[in-house]
Amino acid sequence: MEFWGKRPFLIKGTEMQFDETPIGAYKYELDTPILLIDLDLMESNIAKMADFFRSVNANLRPHTKTHKTPIIAHKQIDASAIGVTCAKLGEAEVMINSGIKQVLIANEIITPLKIEKLTSLARHADLIVAVDDEDNVEHLSKSAFNKGVNLKVLVEVDIGMKRCGVEPGEPALKLAHKIEKSKNLTFAGLMGYEGHTVTIPDFDKRKYETEKSMALLVETKDLIERSGLRVEIMSGGGTGTYNITGKIPEMTEIQAGSYVVMDAYYKNVVNEFDCALTILSTVISRPNKTTAIIDAGIKTMTKEFGLPLVKGIEGVKLTRLSEEHGNLDVSKSEIDLKRGDKIELIPTHCCTTINLHDKFYGIRNDRLETIWDIEGRGKVR
């Protein structure tokens, strides 16, 4: 095995066999492209977020749509999270099967097959689900009654995201009373996601827009409680607003997710968390002096928030992604990249990049420590 000069991130002539991933291997020996997670950085991110929630009234219910991996969720719960949030029923099933009992599905479950599955899962966990429609409430109630289970329900309120949710105020009040009157359903509270504010770069503007949106949820809470119903849960928030929404006295839980691994796009908004996620790739071609080609493309990492960033090499920039290839501009680099050199890239969107992979390769001190199946990967139903 030969290392090139003082460039520890570059390696050639490895003796590894294809598809071998021995624990303890040097990370630049691993076959590529591969999804790496820096365990020290991830654990630091978990600890930082847990520390914040010790200082406020709200609790953390982290969103697993980012990592989709039960062992990471258990680490978050061990660090004082009250449970998890899931985007889809399939993700919730993965988390429940791993032993997690407190699960919020921050989405509407409306088709008959999904409703049957939801109420069956409610036998094995304390499930909460969001609704924004009276017919959906009736269907959930019928299935829960037939199964003999009780289901907690949140009214989702549209506070500016313009996605799911009823309008604040009277529409939410009406739906809350519908739930409360329905058999085997419990009205547990409200959910509102300020997703339209979480990536506003300027903190003061982000804070202003977030508080303006969350005020609609708080006002709706007050209206419902004046009608005689108790609003136990007030759920919302994301990584970009955890320290804004999390400080609102009426909020009881925050659904931040990306913070656990972070990405290059979110890092510009929330700088206190570190990018623990990288794609390790190999230079496979040098067609000319200014260009290097790597073996990672859009089937390996996503680009909807911009092209991934090259980590640790000055003057090298990713300029293009095709299906299986990435183009690097090396014209401003003092390093002469060669075929076989290993390059790490920081994704710009961790959630969608992770969903392209089957496994995390956990790295500590540049050595492979563990391999985790991304069990929630592809659970889009």
* Length of the chain (residues): 381
- Please tell me whether the peptide bond between 22 and the residue prior to it is cis, using omega within 30 degrees of 0: no
> Mean pLDDT score of the chain, rounded to an integer?
95
How far separated are the first and last CA of the chain, in Å rounded? Answer: 46
Whole-number pLDDT of residue 170: 98
Query: pLDDT for 234-263, tens place per residue?
Result: 999 999 999 999 999 999 999 999 999 999
By DSSP bridging, strand 151-156 and strand 126-131 are: parallel
The pLDDT score that the predictor gives to residue 209 is 98
CATH number of the domain enclosing 33: 2.40.37.20
For residue 195, is pLDDT > 90?
Answer: yes
Q: Is residue 380 part of a domain?
A: no
Q: What is the pLDDT of residue 3?
A: 29
Q: Where does a domain end: 236, 261, 286?
A: 261
CA distances from 298 to 279, 303, 326 (A): 12, 7, 8
Do the domain assignments include residue 284? yes
Same domain for 315 and 248: no
Tell me what pLDDT residue 305 has: 97
Question: C-alpha angle 103/122/116, rounded to 5°?
Answer: 120
Task: Answer yes or no: do 251 and 297 share one domain.
Answer: no
- Any idea what the CATH number is for the domain that residue 147 is in? 3.20.20.10
Same domain, 93 and 177: yes
* pLDDT score of 11: 42
Token readout for 255 is 């659904």
Provide the domain limits for residue 369.
2-39+272-373
Q: Where are the alpha helices (DSSP H) in the chain?
A: 39-53, 70-78, 89-97, 112-121, 134-147, 170-180, 203-226, 242-245, 264-267, 350-354
Predicted local distance difference test score (pLDDT) of residue 12:
42
Instruction: Kindly state the average pLDDT of the residues 80-90.
Output: 98
139: its two tokens: 């269907």
Verify that 60 and 101 share a domain, yes or no.
yes
Asked if 195 and 296 sit in the same domain, the reply is: no
Same domain, 63 and 202: yes
Going by C-alpha positions, the residue among 313, 298, 284 that lies closest to residue 347 is: 298
pLDDT of residue 20: 58
Question: What pLDDT shows up at residue 1?
Answer: 26
163: burial class by Cβ within 10 Å (0-12, 13-18, 19+)? exposed
* Averaged pLDDT, 314-343: 97
Task: Give the total number of structural domains in the chain.
Answer: 2
Q: Which of 224, 240, 261 is the last residue in one of the domains? A: 261
Query: For residue range 2-49, what is the model confidence (pLDDT) as tens digits?
Result: 323 334 444 444 444 445 568 999 999 999 999 999 999 999 999 999
User: Rounded to an integer, what distance in angstroms lies between the CA atom of residue 136 and that of residue 112?
Assistant: 10
What's the token pair of residue 214?
A: 């969350």
Average pLDDT over residues 80-98: 98
Do residues 276 and 211 both lie within one domain? no
